Structure 1
Amino acid sequence: MSDFLIVGGGVIGMMTALQLADAGHEVTLLDRNDCGREASWAGGGIVSPLYPWRYSAPISNLSRWSEGYYPELALRLLEETGIDPEYRQKGLLYLHVDDETKALVWAREVGKPLERVDRDFLYAKEPNAAPGCDGALWMPTLGSIRNPRLLKALRTRLMAMPRVSLKEGVEVTGLRRQEGRIVALETSSGVIAVPEASGQVIVCGGAWAAQLMESIGVRLPVRPVKGQMILFKAPPGLVQRVVLMDGRYVIPRGDGRVLAGSTLEEVGFDKAPTVDARDSLWHSATRIIPALADCEIEHHWAGLRPGSPDGIPFIGALPGFDNLHVNAGHYRNGLVLAPASTRLLVDQLLEREPIIDPAPYWPAL
């Protein structure tokens, strides 16, 4: 019997499973589809909030810890699975930043390399960037990761771990409680009992987490927020690093392909791509890198982010329950915050000293 049952096989669920298995525990991970096919797959893979100085301390604290962890994780997964998550630390160029002074003050306060650079520096770094800029903000330490390959590597590693059981294509439709304890999971494949003495349940269901919690009368303020992206088939070298302008961005991959994103849409659980979004993303991307206008759009997709109040995730044990925990509500920053938010929860589950103060994320619902 598993010590831990994890509901949701995105980046949060899979990283949680990996850490618990590393610590010697039996883990069952359930996902209604294949692991890693929802918001974690649909994002861009920038290992930072887009404008980090605009976020609150709880998000910044998780982000800084995670950013330092990704290079190590990418190397580990490459060695263990042969799949390269393609972590690239090429920096980020910010164009047209309205609150530049605030950004620079923030960078000095947290010790983050960020500087104003002139037009010669900008176009030396990115010759194909939007013409006519008199300079940019430059963050040299920013990295990005090819999230579909990261997820593939995580899944491959978990499948090879004898302490981990992946149950894909199994939808958890409800939780059964008995007083202050979850005693079973109701699933599309039948009822799964939770071990009486040691079984712990962790909900990492992303945009669907609130629906699951409603089955036991708990209101978790997490909602779906649709985001759409497009992928250009560009020649290698056209774009070398992440470039961000007016809230939209382009992200290069190692093979030359360039992602452009993203939209923010409050449309419930509808994740169908739309022509209007495609056109809007194309116009934004070709303003940032005009040469993309000559490149084919290879793919267009949408995903559902788990929106939450102020974008701060809920991480911790649910009040009134002995064995129910949640890690959900990361909004736009699930991939960014995943290493730290999962480590923070695992620290609490295993009664270790937490990496940061858990209080700001406590789900006092």
Structure 2
Amino acid sequence: MKKIPERASGIISRLLAVFILLMVSFGANAGDDCSALYAQSGAMPGSPTCQLNVVSNTPGGLGNYACLNDLALIREWCTAPAADETEQSCPVADPVYPGSGAVTLTEADFMSGDDLPLYFTRTYRSKPLASNASAMGPAWFHSWQRHLDLTNANHSRTAKVLAYRENGEPITFNWNAGAWRTPGFTGLALTRNGSESGNANEAAWTLTNLQTDTTESYSAQGVLLTESTRTGFVRTLSYDSSGLLSTITQHAIGTDARKDITLRLDYDDKRRLSRLNDPLGRLTQSLSAYKGSGDFAVIVLNPDPFNYFHFHFGKHPGFIIEANRSDNDFFEILMKDPGDSPADVIGFYSEQYVVLPLSGEWFMYADRGWDWGTGVLITGPPDVMNVARQAFAFYENPG
């Protein structure tokens, strides 16, 4: 047997050492790297042929050897739910989804009156499910980013539609026996209206909440267009030329359009939502700027400011907004927890309240019981009343 020269033997030993170190290093990160590699095979987690597809179609090569031969890791990857699929566990504690470990938190920024109020909420999720929803940043999703993922909506045996809900959670609809059905009961029904025109403003899909009888219409691209409630409200969404949601307008059928509630959304230079503008807040600030220094006070009359609010929290339900404060500052105060009781925040629990400038030039009284939460009584000089009429429909002589 021919002896290997000492120099060559040393080189081979070093190469083997490097190879072993590379394999150890690769093995330390195999879980994450293998997952990305398995995804390249085209295999679908949860499908009966997933493991076979991974073994057969995963790109080969020396660096992929450990992944291709780790059958336990392949089995684990194939049995895990797809990243965009519905959570199979219910949130507990913080709340946390025990199945995925995702932490969620929901904050409400606006709520109107009525049995089915107009909401604007934000939900934080540590493991986002809607990868294309970036208006609030990568980990946040607001309630009007609902949309349909129609990538696989082709009416084949494996066709499916993902309906992203208010909190960013997707509900999966599978094409089965001539209808779109969810694997279990969700209280939602999805139908296709037959429109293939591609018109961005034409409803092609309808999603119905069977529990509240609320219907949502979506375009052929899966964009949310309207929401209609059984109480007679139609909420219409408008988008700018680049596709950003610009306004949400609530109209009560058979009423004056001046009583509509319109939420306007502003964005920064990175196309991220920076401000939510509420109509009554805008009216208040406009009147304050027109007559007076721009500073105004808000005082809640119901619930009782003394026997209820002060009794429970040791403070009074009132505050002063200075002229240099923004809409965001105003809503932050409205939604501030008075003392370990989120249900009692002024923005939610104030049934009647008054707004008046520190100059005393005019007076505003609002009651959530009037006109589904939009009822406002304003009194003041003729010029102030004229400015108010142009901005908002309100009562001048409620009787």
For Structure 1 versus Structure 2, the TM-score category normalised by the shorter chain is under 0.3
Write 1 or 2 for the structure with the bigger share of helix. 1
The TM-score normalised by the length of structure 2 is 0.20
The TM-score normalised by the length of structure 1 is 0.22
**Greater RCO (CA < 8 Å, at least 6 residues apart):** 1
Please say which structure displays the higher CA radius of gyration.
2
